[in-house]
């Protein structure tokens, strides 16, 4: 059967190439195995007037599962959780480590639904609301909670802690932790900030500091252990941001650790197994 398209033959070739890659990623036998061993549910919940969606992933037929709140990077629909991404990143994590994962997309991924992604504004409430869902999932142990944030998710995680989220420990990968410093190295991010952060152009310095954990880490519960992981070749979020927060954590008396991966860029994929192992060891050490 040939692809029928009004586009060019190159587009058809690109489509066929993507299809081949997808088939190599999503093998029938793996999918059938996951159907038997993984409980995956889409979740939709309301926070104030915003409609938010995300995913719940856990090993099937298990109980008393510790929770990992998994905060994604990106903004708006960029980097959003879709089934394919959940399948690749969260299924094995849940199954191999016996954890229940809650992964929110934050508000604003669908323009027609109420709620706007403010890149660390009202959307932080979408993370804060997740524990209210725990009772809907009988397999979950709400007394054991690990908080993970990658890139923008690092900012979301720290803001959520500042605003009262309870967690036993935290892992931040390549976190946005000083947006002012980050803007100097990556000025193109200003377009994201202008589009998403309310009153940005009138109050630029104030709004960036409000979203930068290096300025207010003293307002977070010092009993929460924090692990920082970063690649020293990261060109999107420079490793200096994690180094700066690590120094601030030391000054404030936190239990903390900084783990720098040599040669690793912004994407964790080349070292995902090692990073996942380090993350889960940190969580398990602090689940009573």
pLDDT digits (tens, 9 = 90+) for 25-37: 667 888 888 889 9
- Residues in contact with 264: Cβ distance below 8 Å, sequence separation at least 6, in sequence order: 230, 231, 232, 233, 234, 270, 271
- Sorting pLDDT into bands at 50, 70 and 90, what band is 66? very high
- Residues in contact with 69: Cβ distance below 8 Å, sequence separation at least 6, in sequence order: 101, 102, 103, 127, 130, 145, 146, 147, 148, 157, 165, 167
CA distance 175 to 156: 9
Q: With pLDDT > 70 as the criterion, what percentage of the chain qualifies?
A: 91
Q: What is the pTM of this model?
A: 0.91
pLDDT higher than threshold 50 for residue 9: no
Considering the segment(s) 39-285 as one domain, its CATH architecture is 3-Layer(aba) Sandwich (3.40)
CA distance 214 to 212: 6
Report the SS3 class of residue 59. strand
142-157, pLDDT tens digit by residue?
999 999 999 999 999 9
116-144, pLDDT tens digit by residue?
999 999 999 999 999 999 999 999 999 99
40/1: higher pLDDT: 40
Once rounded to an integer, what is the mean pLDDT over residues 267-271?
Answer: 93
* Displacement of CA 70 from its chain's centroid (Å): 5
């Amino acid at each position: 059967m040939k692809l029928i398209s009004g586009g060019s033959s190159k587009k058809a070739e690109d489509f066929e190439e993507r299809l081949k890659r997808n088939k190599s990623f999503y093998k029938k036998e793996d999918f059938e195995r996951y159907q038997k061993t993984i409980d995956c549910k889409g979740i939709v919940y309301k926070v104030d007037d915003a409609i938010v969606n995300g995913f719940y992933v856990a090993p099937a037929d298990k109980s008393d599962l510790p929770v990992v709140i998994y905060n994604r990077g990106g903004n708006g629909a960029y980097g959003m959780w879709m089934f394919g991404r959940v399948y690749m990143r969260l299924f094995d994590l849940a199954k191999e480590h016996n954890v229940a994962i809650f992964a929110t997309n934050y508000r604003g991924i669908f323009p027609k639904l109420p709620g706007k992604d403010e890149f660390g504004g009202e959307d932080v409430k979408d993370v804060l609301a997740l524990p209210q869902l725990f009772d809907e999932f009988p397999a979950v142990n709400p007394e054991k909670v690990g908080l993970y944030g990658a890139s923008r998710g690092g900012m979301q995680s720290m803001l959520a802690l500042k605003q009262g989220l309870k967690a036993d420990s935290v892992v931040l990968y390549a976190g946005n932790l000083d947006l002012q410093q980050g803007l100097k190295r990556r000025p193109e991010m200003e377009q994201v900030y202008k589009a998403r952060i309310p009153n940005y152009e009138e109050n630029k310095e104030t709004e960036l500091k409000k979203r930068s954990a290096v300025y207010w880490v003293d307002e977070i519960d010092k009993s929460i252990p924090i692990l920082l992981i970063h690649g020293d070749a990261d060109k999107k979020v420079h490793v200096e941001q994690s180094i700066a927060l690590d120094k601030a954590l030391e000054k404030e008396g936190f239990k903390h650790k900084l783990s720098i991966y040599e040669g690793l860029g912004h994407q964790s994929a080349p070292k995902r197994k090692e990073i996942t192992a380090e993350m889960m060891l940190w969580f398990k050490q602090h689940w009573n």
